[in-house]
Structure 1
Amino acid sequence: MSPTRVLDYPALAAKAIAARDESIPSEYLLTKSAFPLPKDRTTLIASSSILSPEELEIINLTATKLRDDLATRKYTSVQATTAYCKAAAIAQQATNCLTDMFMDEAIARAKSLDEEFEKTGKPVGPLHGLPISIKDHMDIKGRDSPSGFLDMVGNTIAEEDAHLVSVLREAGAVFYVKTTQPQTIMHLETSCYLGTTINPYNPELTSGGSSGGEGALISMKGSCLGVGTDIGGSIRAPAAACGIYGFKPSIYRLPAGGCQMPMCPTGYEGIICTHGPMARSVEDLKLYMEVMVGSKPWLRDPTVQVKPWNYNPVFPQEKIRIGIMLDDGVVKPLAPMQRALKEVTAKLEASGLFEIVPYECILSDEAWDIISKLYWPDGGAMVREHLARTGEPMLPLSQWIIDWSKELTLGEYLALAARRDDFRKAQAAHWQASGVDVVLSPPSPGAAPALGTAKYWNYTSFWNLTNYPSAIFPTGQFVDSTKDAKDTSYKPSNESEKITWDSYDSEQSSGAPISLQVTGYNGHDEATLAALEKIVKVIS
């Protein structure tokens, strides 16, 4: 049944924001002396005095290390969950990254797990007691999933867990927060009726999107492991913008049931969304995939590939062959991205562990033309209906992405799907002719862009169209206003490039983390992460 039409957007939005804010325990609010907050907010949790020294130790661990310490009883789940609830509360105040916190429910779950461990002497599953954050549109039983639309607030209380949530719960995870995403779930930024989620390193920059709440929360150390989704870069853009790790698996490798998709007609298969991990280490990405695939999700969901996780990939050559993609042939990367890619490539070459070759990106314009039209086969009709119910205004980035599309006839939709499949065949032939194991590339033209300017998706959406697994890793480099000054002599060759280059300000972007992207061949998820692991060891 559709929600009732109530045209009072300002009042309803204010009510939703107040309800979210009331879910944050008052004892975890920053003192007045903390304001105005600094430009770089990543140190606020450590300086707040809200967390104890032991709790600070906990939130500085990777998810894998914390999981191990919980399994040896160095920490209890109640201790870990309390630490992360405190940290998430501060992260919310710093970046506006949460839609909901349910601390009482989380502590009760953690206490139950501790008691079970005490009784049996065994941890409850491979993620025993580990706090995990979840993007808003994934269903958690008893919690709301409004998914960036005000009209859905209070109308999407989940009766059961999403498939992926049930897997994590059975593995021993503790859920304590849900995180922000943009209106339509289709921005590379994160703005909705709850406001804008900002970058932890700089409030003038985006946290990325659409899993921008996860990106900001994990970067702030308000989560050690979170779950995002990706249909055009929605895991990778925020991971890159916030300087953390993220992984987009091949589609049909993980279960998708139980995720609200209010912008897509039921049965839509033009471009399939996949969920994946966001974390602070490669090991944590591997842990998530091992647990998720190890649950044999194909037994419940026949669309999932029957393919056990095997993290022992064999590469064709003795050395991993890395193709270096300097640009996508449409938008030349900005100075900080050029510098980071050059420096990382030099380190990889110097290590002697890799074979480095150039990789040319082909058919970039074709890629965007196909995928941007496939995103909205109804021309955005569902979005407009959601907004109309409360008088919610369409945000500029929602309008921008919808404007690339039109309502398709059946024949037009099928023709686009055929172009998609032909494109994939052409890319496969090109990849195999290049003889690469993975491709190293920018995840975007630059580091985190200024708010409202993230309008070039092709460095990530390209790999959604091909359906290749792709991961983000931080380089350890940050934008330097001197080293990364804009090349004012460069003349953009097209409108997309002009928009990107015109919006770059090296002073404004100073201090933003710079990340890169590693992509593998379709279905080679394990090999992609194995290559990433070796790359990170060399550059660390």
Structure 2
Amino acid sequence: MSPVQVPRPYAEAEADARAARDATIPAAYALPKSSYPLPKNVTGVLASCGVLSPAELAIVELDATALAGHIAARKYTAVEVTTAYVKAAAVAQQVTNCVVELFEDEALERAAWLDAELARTGRPVGELHGVPVSIKDHICVKGHDTPSGFIGLVGKMVAEEDAHLVKILRDAGAVFFSLMAIETDSYLGVTTSPWNTDTTCGGSSGGEGAILACKASALGVGSDIGGSVRAPAASTGIYSFKPGVHRLPHVGMVIPIGPQGYDGIHGTQGPMARSMRDLELYMRLMAAAEPWLAEPSVDYRPWREVVAPKRLRIGVLEDDGVIRPVAPVRRALLHAVERLKAAGHEIVPYTQYEYAEHWDIVRKLYFIDNGDSVHAQLARGNEPIKPLTKWAMRALAGRRDTFRYKLAQYWRAQGIDVLLSPAMPGPASLHGNGKDWGYTCYWNLADYPAGVFPTGLHVDPTLDAEGGYTPRNDDEAHVYNTYDAAKQRDAPIALQVVGYAGHEEETLAAMKAIAEVVQV
């Protein structure tokens, strides 16, 4: 009989994991002493710290679409671009703690090969030739560990091959240079929003949100089962998109906490970006690869080029009936409605359909095994359970399907093109307080496409103080009791656009049209 393996003490394993991660951050890119003490808003540190040259700062200002064009036109080499982004990612790690692993040598080797191929053939390898792409920790990148936020899996989940989506991006010429934190608070520490480091970057694709907001990645890939690309985007002021479950490839995404045979609410991968057109680029590129040929569960749906109607009929959800948004979110939504009306769009009030039924189903389906899978992974590393994880675990499919059928009838009866709503009931929360994801996870249960865009507005203590409102329930009381406009100053405010099931192209087109009108 083999001896029973006792997990190492958590503190020891945690220290080793952090040291291993820190060793991947080049010492040459350490922030100078003059950068300290760091401000709460660290979005300006990249430009002021001196780690990047003026030419490199110009590179990291570009979105992925522009960057790919400049590399193809030979304005920049892939090596120059990769070097700039590795430096920027090192800075982002020092100010927000967003990186799981930074692999400079591998990225530069790939970039040099791409430069050689462009010189040899005269043609880019693909649409993302030389563009640095960051990947969420639980998505397999060949040769790299995917512990998915669990210390007990560190060193045990080295990927033998790329995830399907990573293969597509690699074939398109992408340069992989970093794996991003999957959790806001994990064995690697707390990850923060660069707009206000007292606030969360959102989860669980929080590292992606932080690095993109720091302009330290050109394009990111996250996953979403309850808002995990949308909450980070809202918290950090970037763009993201959650397609329907079967629209994009899924193979190679490690899910260590799902019970065998689980068929409740499935997550989907999705792009996180610094522009609307980069979201469209990602979706178009994935569809062009015909992923259904290698992964039959992906729907056969070539990408359709869609232009939004000049006059959209937009449903507006001001309050889901459970948590009324706090002042800055209400301000942003009112701002959006006024601008959209002035631009000629039709605005109609929208009431959330059967929210209580949704919340009962969704809480049970997320933890169908009463959290046993989560506890098993924590036990592997002698890892203490985080307070928010413990809070989420509580005690399927038939009620879900009935809900989806009835919601479809309700949606069609409203006659709307898309829905505009808060992404969250508040701005990025102060650390340890982010408990509500009702505005996002509703659409995971429905399996409707949804995206988030930054309005350009930020929390302003002179405009966004709260007072005199009596919460209707404990969840709402928590949001209002933990909101503080002064402490959450500068947190970005984003809004969510939702489209009907299967209408990813129409949803993105409408979101683009709405963002162009709303953004300041």
Distance 1:16 1:293 in 2: 37
Residue 458 (structure 1) aligned with residue 422 (structure 2): no
Q: Which residue of 1 aligns with 2:423?
A: 443
Distance 1:399 1:470 in 2: 28
Deviation digits for residues 223-259 of structure 1 (CA, Å, limit 9, x no counterpart): 1210000000000000000000000011100010001
Residue 400 (structure 1) aligned with residue 391 (structure 2): yes
Distance 1:502 1:312 in 2: 43
Q: Which residue of 2 aligns with 1:24?
A: 25
Residue 14 (structure 1) aligned with residue 8 (structure 2): no
- Compute the RMSD of aligned alpha carbons: 1.3
**Mapping for residues 138-287 of structure 1, pairs under 5 Å:** 138-182=139-183, 190-287=184-281
Deviation digits for residues 41-60 of structure 1 (CA, Å, limit 9, x no counterpart): 01111011111111101100
Q: Which residue of 1 aligns with 2:298?
A: 304
Amino-acid identity (%): 51
3-state SS of paired residue (2:487):
helix
Deviation digits for residues 129-151 of structure 1 (CA, Å, limit 9, x no counterpart): 11000000000000000100001
Deviation digits for residues 197-224 of structure 1 (CA, Å, limit 9, x no counterpart): 0110111110000000000000000112
Residue 469 (structure 1) aligned with residue 449 (structure 2): yes
Deviation digits for residues 385-442 of structure 1 (CA, Å, limit 9, x no counterpart): 111122110000110111x23xxxxxxxxxx111101111111111000000100000
Distance 1:47 1:362 in 2: 48
Residue of 456, 471, 484 corresponding to 1:492: 471
The alpha-carbon deviation at position 32 of structure 1 amounts to: 2.1
Judge conservation of contact 2:308–2:513 (CA < 8 Å) in 1: no
Judge conservation of contact 1:5–1:390 (CA < 8 Å) in 2: no
Distance 2:306 2:462 in 1: 43
Judge conservation of contact 1:470–1:519 (CA < 8 Å) in 2: yes
Distance 2:204 2:5 in 1: 27
Residue of 361, 370, 373 corresponding to 2:361: 370
Given residue 450 of structure 2, which amino acid in structure 1 is its aligned partner?
S
Judge conservation of contact 1:110–1:174 (CA < 8 Å) in 2: yes
Given residue 213 of structure 1, which amino acid in structure 2 is its aligned partner?
G
Structure 2 stretches of 5 or more lacking a match? none
Q: Which residue of 1 aligns with 2:501?
A: 522
Distance 1:455 1:319 in 2: 36
The alpha-carbon deviation at position 33 of structure 1 amounts to: 2.4
Q: Which residue of 2 aligns with 1:424?
A: 404
Residue 335 (structure 1) aligned with residue 327 (structure 2): yes
3-state SS of paired residue (2:452):
strand
The alpha-carbon deviation at position 74 of structure 1 amounts to: 0.8
Distance 1:213 1:4 in 2: 32
Distance 1:366 1:335 in 2: 27
Deviation digits for residues 461-503 of structure 1 (CA, Å, limit 9, x no counterpart): 00000001000000011111011001x2111111111111111
Higher mean Cα deviation, 460-469 or 30-39?
Answer: 30-39
Distance 1:266 1:244 in 2: 34
Judge conservation of contact 1:124–1:171 (CA < 8 Å) in 2: yes
Distance 1:369 1:384 in 2: 22
Distance 2:427 2:147 in 1: 29
The alpha-carbon deviation at position 266 of structure 1 amounts to: 3.2
3-state SS of paired residue (1:64):
helix
The alpha-carbon deviation at position 313 of structure 1 amounts to: 5.4
The alpha-carbon deviation at position 4 of structure 1 amounts to: 4.8
Distance 1:245 1:385 in 2: 34
Distance 2:264 2:518 in 1: 38
Q: Which residue of 2 aligns with 1:410?
A: none
Distance 1:490 1:331 in 2: 12
Pair 1:4–1:29, CA change in 2 (3 A): farther
Q: Which runs of 4+ in 1 moved over 3 A?
A: none
Distance 2:307 2:244 in 1: 16
3-state SS of paired residue (1:465):
helix
The alpha-carbon deviation at position 510 of structure 1 amounts to: 1.3
Residue 45 (structure 1) aligned with residue 46 (structure 2): yes
Given residue 469 of structure 1, which amino acid in structure 2 is its aligned partner?
P
**Mapping for residues 316-395 of structure 1, pairs under 5 Å:** 319-352=311-344, 354-395=345-386
Pair 1:129–1:93, CA change in 2 (3 A): same
Q: Which residue of 2 aligns with 1:86?
A: 87
Judge conservation of contact 1:329–1:362 (CA < 8 Å) in 2: no
3-state SS of paired residue (2:486):
helix
Distance 2:205 2:46 in 1: 21
The alpha-carbon deviation at position 539 of structure 1 amounts to: 2.4
The alpha-carbon deviation at position 506 of structure 1 amounts to: 1.1
Structure 1 stretches of 5 or more lacking a match? 183-189, 406-415
The alpha-carbon deviation at position 267 of structure 1 amounts to: 3.0
The alpha-carbon deviation at position 268 of structure 1 amounts to: 1.7
Pair 1:524–1:4, CA change in 2 (3 A): farther
The alpha-carbon deviation at position 525 of structure 1 amounts to: 0.3
Given residue 126 of structure 1, which amino acid in structure 2 is its aligned partner?
E
3-state SS of paired residue (2:352):
coil
What TM-score comes out, normalization by structure 1 length? 0.94
Distance 2:338 2:218 in 1: 31
What TM-score comes out, normalization by structure 2 length? 0.98
Q: Count matched residues.
A: 517
Q: Which residue of 2 aligns with 1:186?
A: none
Distance 1:198 1:429 in 2: 41
Pair 1:72–1:266, CA change in 2 (3 A): farther
Judge conservation of contact 1:387–1:394 (CA < 8 Å) in 2: yes
Given residue 97 of structure 1, which amino acid in structure 2 is its aligned partner?
C
